[in-house]
Amino acid sequence: MVSVIRPVIITGMSGGGLSTAAKVFEDKGFFVAQNLPPQMILELIALAREEDSPVTRLAVVTDVRARMFNGSLIGTVEQIREAGADPFVLFLEARDDVLIRRFDSVRRTHPLQGDETLQAGIRREREELAQVREAADVIIDTSNLSVHDLRRAVEASVGQLPGDRQHVTVESFGFKHGSPRDADIVLDVRFLPNPYWVQELRDFRGVDAPVAEYVLAQPGATEFVDNVAALLVSMLGGYRHEGKDFITVGIGCTGGHHRSVAISEAVAAKLRETDTVEISVLHRDLERS
């Protein structure tokens, strides 16, 4: 048998963006199977690992509806590991109010709602998926993400698959839109002067040279970047010891347009110098007003 690239299990809350994630993996050349019961997931992975299999990149989308069949998703993940095909588990979630709004917009009932309220169905689903969430390699909170932002976040997770090194995602955001719930570390760069109040810089963003140069020229900015990079590097060994190979660092300013973007790019560049981790950068609120 030959191993495929780590089989991907895409799961999470109904309404969390599983369909969008599936499309991203399809676009990346994965064979994607959707809504398979636990036993069929095991059989599909075994088939993909056969010597003459045409499938070398496999992703399976499964949600709480699989509970209608024998076996559990967390048990399936453990069985896949025992078979020597260490799965990459991607879990998508969102706040209750966001999920309710999404279900209302498409006039769908929740699969666990039954005769009760939509809120009750969401609560029941969170309880049933708690163990899977705990075992996930990457958790993406889609509450504040547009479809395009979600695609970028999922694409970043795809980039984490091939290597054995730890992966750090540096995510800029605006505090006025809420902190990213999936961040392991959240840092605040509102101590730096805001380029928004500089007329000639207002319409630029932190990825543009004029803003980046302005932000990094402020007292304490480069020291902050150096200290954050050093702190993260010092924590990587502990994270790995605890079985955590995927770390998300949220860096926030007021709107997520200028300071957090420039600092995130600088922190990512500094971490790449160490050549010890894979790095991706996500600017969650760059295009939001």
Which pLDDT tens digit goes with each residue over 46-70? 888 888 888 888 999 988 776 656 6
pLDDT tier at 2 (50, 70, 90 boundaries)? very low
| 24 marked among binding-site residues | no
| 130 marked among binding-site residues | no
pTM: 0.62
Burial of 192 (0-12, 13-18, 19+ CB in 10 A): buried
Region 212-226 average pLDDT = 97
Length of the chain: 289
Q: pLDDT at position 60, please?
A: 93
**Quick one: how far is CA 255 from the chain centroid?**
21
| 123 marked among binding-site residues | no
Burial of 92 (0-12, 13-18, 19+ CB in 10 A): buried
Q: pLDDT at position 258, please?
A: 97
Closest CA to 92 of 191, 206, 12: 12
The packing angle between helices 18-27 and 147-158, to 10°, is 50
Phi, psi of 138 (to 5 degrees): -135, 135
pLDDT winner (highest mean) among 46-55, 117-126, 218-227: 218-227
Residue 201 pLDDT > 60: yes
Closest CA to 145 of 170, 107, 178: 178
Cβ within 8 Å of residue 273, ≥6 positions away: none
Region 124-134 average pLDDT = 90
Using the Cα atoms of residue 109, residue 114, residue 120 and residue 124 in order, give the sign of their dihedral. Answer: negative
Cα–Cα distance measured from residue 287 to residue 96, given in angstroms and rounded to the nearest whole number: 24
DSSP the chain: --PPEEEEEEEE-TTSSHHHHHHHHHHTT-EEEES--HHHHHHHHHHHTSTT-S-SEEEEE--GGGGGSSS-HHHHHHHHHHTT---EEEEEE--HHHHHHHHHHHT---TTTTTS-HHHHHHHHHHHHHHHHHH-SEEEE-TT--HHHHHHHHHHHHTTSS-SS-EEEEEEEEGGG---TT-SEEEE-TTSPPGGGSGGGTTS-TTSHHHHHHHHTSTTHHHHHHHHHHHHHHHHHHHHHTT--EEEEEEEESSSSSHHHHHHHHHHHHHHHHTSSEEEEEETTTT--
Q: pLDDT at position 271, please?
A: 94
Region 260-283 average pLDDT = 93
Q: pLDDT at position 161, please?
A: 57
Share of the chain above pLDDT 70, in %: 93
| 66 marked among binding-site residues | yes
Burial of 152 (0-12, 13-18, 19+ CB in 10 A): middle
Q: pLDDT at position 70, please?
A: 62
pLDDT digits (tens, 9 = 90+) for 144-194: 888 888 888 888 777 655 455 788 999 999 999 999 988 999 999 999 999
Show the 3-state SS of 100-133. HHHHHHHCCCCCCCCCCCHHHHHHHHHHHHHHHH
| Domain ranges within the chain, ordered by starting residue | 8-159, 166-283
CATH architecture of 8-159: 3-Layer(aba) Sandwich (3.40)
